[in-house]
């Protein structure tokens, strides 16, 4: 057999994969709320005995009726419109596999969660990136997206709130985008990634899902971020178009057969007890966001930021007037010794002078110590 260990694979390598291997003391690279524990989940279920008779046969390819009903309640669609997925990530992967191939085009808003781009790249589709700018607060409009659409477009992909910036696109703008896609790219579906939708701050209301914006709109989300349960690997797609739903259910059958019935049951329990799970995490998110806001204001000599609308993350930029190329390199090189971890803008299709800072994952005392450690790094590196 002829092994070619260095041959490039179907998907581009992205250093975001290191997030799954490295977990430093001051981990500001994570994008989730605080992890839910199995013990908390069992307590929500009413004790382990509630799970004892769970049958561990295969589930169904569309997903468990109980979980699909829970997701329908969150998104406002019929339960039959929902397909469960092993994470929103698998949903966006299958959507790309099913809709895109060589000769087709896909339009994506970037910077973005890297698999949203790289999973599509693996299909051979021609990618057209609508690049959003830090200086414009990463605002996405129908007008900015329009030049990237045409009759060859098969998929338009965006996230709200965005990863890495936490910037939200309001429902009326999403509606305008959905209508524009119908007009300019009639063969395309619009994928709206709502993975951070429920990660709101404190008592702020949860924005309505985009799941009912029309037959060409598919949404995706999961219990990974707002609920702090990425290890369950349970997400979903809402797919009102019957034909596409059938294709995606078959694609799921051919890739994973079904989700794990245990994971689906646990995810259903999370969703059925959503207020209890979300409330403390939203309070922590609000506190984390406020702490970062105050800290950024105190470090405006070195940094600027785009204030997030939702999610457990935000984008900060090393001031170009203070950090030249070499300064940016030194900044990244200094982080490991300070036990710090941040998301590199380059992972998301941004410049490395921008970094993603997650404020939902660390407990408040650790977040405060992490920001102090980051201040020390900034002070050592550059003199304004
Ligand atoms: C915007 C976005 N979509 C999807 C995902 C995938 O999440 P999961 O597969 O855990 O549901 C992520 C994870 O970071 C994300 O940020």
The answer to whether the CB of 87 is under 6 A from ligand 1 is: yes
> Cα dihedral sign for 357, 360, 366, 368?
positive
Q: Which domain holds residue 55?
A: 39-275
The answer to whether the CB of 224 is under 6 A from ligand 1 is: yes
Measured CA to CA, the distance from residue 216 to residue 213 in angstroms comes to 8
Backbone angles phi, psi at 260, to 5 degrees: -70, 125
Measured CA to CA, the distance from residue 241 to residue 245 in angstroms comes to 6
| % the chain with pLDDT above 70 | 97
Same domain, 96 and 133: yes
The CATH number of whichever domain residue 144 belongs to comes to: 3.40.640.10
Query: Does residue 171 surpass a pLDDT of 50?
Result: yes
Query: Does residue 256 surpass a pLDDT of 70?
Result: yes
Confidence band, pLDDT 50/70/90 cuts, at residue 1: very low
Query: Does residue 291 surpass a pLDDT of 50?
Result: yes
**Which residues does residue 131 pair with via DSSP β-bridges, in sequence order?**
110
Domain C-terminal end among 275, 302, 331: 275
Per-residue model confidence as pLDDT tens digits over 306-353: 999 999 999 999 999 999 999 999 999 999 999 999 999 999 999 999
Measured CA to CA, the distance from residue 311 to residue 196 in angstroms comes to 5
Per-residue model confidence as pLDDT tens digits over 79-137: 999 999 999 999 999 999 999 999 999 999 999 999 999 999 999 999 999 999 999 99
How many domains, in total, are found in the chain?
2
The pLDDT value recorded for residue 22 is 82
The answer to whether the CB of 30 is under 6 A from ligand 1 is: no
Domain C-terminal end among 241, 275, 309: 275
Same domain, 51 and 137: yes
Same domain, 193 and 287: no
311 CA distance to ligand 1 middle (Å): 11
Same domain, 160 and 253: yes
Question: Could you tell which of 36, 74, 83, 87 is best to mutate to test the pocket of ligand 1, judged by most ligand atoms within 8 Å of the CB?
Answer: 87
Atom of ligand 1 nearest to the CA of 223: 11
Question: Could you tell which of 161, 163, 314 is best to mutate to test the pocket of ligand 1, judged by most ligand atoms within 8 Å of the CB?
Answer: 163
Which is it for strands 354-358 and 313-318: parallel, antiparallel or unpaired? Answer: antiparallel
Does residue 254 lie in a domain region?
A: yes
Does residue 140 lie in a domain region?
A: yes
Same domain, 166 and 237: yes
Confidence band, pLDDT 50/70/90 cuts, at residue 236: very high
The answer to whether the CB of 159 is under 6 A from ligand 1 is: yes
The answer to whether the CB of 31 is under 6 A from ligand 1 is: yes
The pLDDT value recorded for residue 383 is 58
The least confident of 1-10, 125-134, 282-291, 355-364 is 1-10
34 CA distance to ligand 1 middle (Å): 15
Same domain, 186 and 299: no
Atom of ligand 1 nearest to the CA of 92: 4
Query: What residues contact residue 248 under an 8 Å CB cut-off, 6+ apart?
Result: 83, 94, 95, 98, 237, 239
88 CA distance to ligand 1 middle (Å): 6
The answer to whether the CB of 89 is under 6 A from ligand 1 is: yes
Which is it for strands 303-306 and 313-318: parallel, antiparallel or unpaired? Answer: antiparallel
The pLDDT value recorded for residue 4 is 59
Per-residue model confidence as pLDDT tens digits over 181-218: 999 999 999 999 999 999 999 999 999 999 999 999 99
The answer to whether the CB of 84 is under 6 A from ligand 1 is: no
Average pLDDT (10-34) is 87
89 CA distance to ligand 1 middle (Å): 6
67 CA distance to ligand 1 middle (Å): 19
Of residues 217, 221, 218, the one with CA closest to residue 206? 221
The pLDDT value recorded for residue 18 is 86
Same domain, 268 and 333: no
66 CA distance to ligand 1 middle (Å): 22
329 CA distance to ligand 1 middle (Å): 28
Measured CA to CA, the distance from residue 225 to residue 161 in angstroms comes to 12
DSSP for 6-21? TS--SS---GGGGGGT
Q: Which helix (H) or strand (E) is 372 found in, with range?
A: helix 364-381
Of residues 48, 50, 68, the one with CA closest to residue 59? 68
Protein residue closest via CA to atom 15 of ligand 1: 113
Measured CA to CA, the distance from residue 39 to residue 351 in angstroms comes to 41
Give the 3-state secondary structure of residue 72.
helix
Angle, helices 274-298/364-381, rounded to nearest 10 degrees: 30
121 CA distance to ligand 1 middle (Å): 17
Average pLDDT (364-377) is 96
Measured CA to CA, the distance from residue 101 to residue 126 in angstroms comes to 8
Single pTM value for the model = 0.96
Average pLDDT (353-366) is 95
Query: Does residue 58 surpass a pLDDT of 60?
Result: yes
Domain C-terminal end among 252, 275, 298: 275
Does residue 130 lie in a domain region?
A: yes
Same domain, 228 and 357: no
The answer to whether the CB of 235 is under 6 A from ligand 1 is: yes
Same domain, 109 and 188: yes
169 CA distance to ligand 1 middle (Å): 17
Same domain, 253 and 295: no
Atom of ligand 1 nearest to the CA of 230: 10
Same domain, 321 and 303: yes
The CATH number of whichever domain residue 353 belongs to comes to: 3.90.1150.10
Work out the mean pLDDT of the chain and round it to a whole number.
95
Does residue 296 lie in a domain region?
A: yes
Same domain, 236 and 97: yes
Query: Does residue 163 surpass a pLDDT of 90?
Result: yes
274 CA distance to ligand 1 middle (Å): 19
The pLDDT value recorded for residue 302 is 95
């Amino acid at each position: 057999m002829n092994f070619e260990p260095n041959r490039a694979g179907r998907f581009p390598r992205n250093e975001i994969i290191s997030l799954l291997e490295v977990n430093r003391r001051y981990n500001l690279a994570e994008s989730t709320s605080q992890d839910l524990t199995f013990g908390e989940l069992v307590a929500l279920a009413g004790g382990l005995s509630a799970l004892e008779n769970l049958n561990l046969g295969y589930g169904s390819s569309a997903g468990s009726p109980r979980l699909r009903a829970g997701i329908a309640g969150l998104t406002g669609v019929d339960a039959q419109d929902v397909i469960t997925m092993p994470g929103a990530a698998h949903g966006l992967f299958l959507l790309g596999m099913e809709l895109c191939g060589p000769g087709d085009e896909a339009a994506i808003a970037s910077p973005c969660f890297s698999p949203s781009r790289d999973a599509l790249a693996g299909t051979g589709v021609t990618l057209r990136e609508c690049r959003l700018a830090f200086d414009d607060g990463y605002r996405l409009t129908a007008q900015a997206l329009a030049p990237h659409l045409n009759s060859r477009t098969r998929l338009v992909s965006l996230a709200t709130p965005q990863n890495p910036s936490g910037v939200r696109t309001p429902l009326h703008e999403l509606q305008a985008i959905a209508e524009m896609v119908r007009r300019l790219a009639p063969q395309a579906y619009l994928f709206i990634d709502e993975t951070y939708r429920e990660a709101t701050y404190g008592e702020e209301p949860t924005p309505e899902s985009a799941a009912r914006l029309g037959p060409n709109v598919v949404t995706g989300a999961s219990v990974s971020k707002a609920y702090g349960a990425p290890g369950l690997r349970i997400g979903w797609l809402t797919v009102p178009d019957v034909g596409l739903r059938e294709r995606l259910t078959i694609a799921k059958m051919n890739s994973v057969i079904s989700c794990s019935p245990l994971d689906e049951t646990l995810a259903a329990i999370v969703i059925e007890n959503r207020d209890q799970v979300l409330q403390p995490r939203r309070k922590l998110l609000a506190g984390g966001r406020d702490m970062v806001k105050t800290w950024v204001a105190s470090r405006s000599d070195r940094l600027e930021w785009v204030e997030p609308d939702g999610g457990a993350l935000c984008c900060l930029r090393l001031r170009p007037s203070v950090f030249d190329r070499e300064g940016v390199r030194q900044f990244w090189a200094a982080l490991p010794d300070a036990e710090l971890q941040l998301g590199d803008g380059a992972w998301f299709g941004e410049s490395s002078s921008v970094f993603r800072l997650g404020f939902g994952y660390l407990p408040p005392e650790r977040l405060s110590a992490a920001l102090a450690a980051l201040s020390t790094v900034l002070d050592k590196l550059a003199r304004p």
